[in-house]
Amino acid sequence: GNQKYLGLTSRFHDLWLSKDWFKLWLVRSEEERHYTNYCLERSQKIIKKVPLHFRIPPIEEMPLKENFCFHSSRLGSPGKNVERLIKAAIKYDFNLVLAGSIKGHEQESWLHRLIDGHHNIQYVGWLSDEELYDYYSRAKVFALPSIIEGVGMVALEASIFGCEIILTNIGAPKEYFNGMAHLVNPYDIDDIGLKIKKAL
């Protein structure tokens, strides 16, 4: 209640207060292992890495690709870095398709202010799984230049469908690709734009 009503604590502080209750910690990446060990002072002996697995089977043959970059997320979340992705598409004039949720009139207005009048950028709304897989299969590139990202499951799913992956160089998502993604500085519009153009 302190966090919700008074803003006097945070989930990270709550985690710190409860850390002694747990005998085993499951993490998704080496990045989370380091955080748990260093920041929460938990022994490596009680930290086990359990990497996440994608939810769909690999495709049997490469689909025919179209020349656009795809992104799907909670678009209004600042950590997803959608505004810089849009600015990169405007500056470097590549086709960008955005999908996912936007909350309320304020986020809807924000998105339209960014993309209206730009022929190369399209927002297709929230997608069902079948529609999402269709975009994965058609997109040549999938971009996830997040500032904050745990694993980046959408990028993993897109890679199953043969997309070239543009991925943030911050945090754990790159661990899952083992050098097989184009890493970008998510704060640099030029780095994002040039690497997407190259991948396309």
Query: What's the Cα-to-Cα distance from 170 to each of 50, 55, 99, 144, rounded to whole Å?
Result: 20, 24, 23, 11
Q: Is the pLDDT of residue 169 over 90?
A: yes
* Mean pLDDT score of the chain: 93
Give the gyration radius of the chain's Cα atoms: 19
Mean pLDDT for the stretch of residues 35-46: 95
pLDDT in tens, 106-156: 999 999 999 999 999 999 999 999 999 999 999 999 999 999 999 999 999
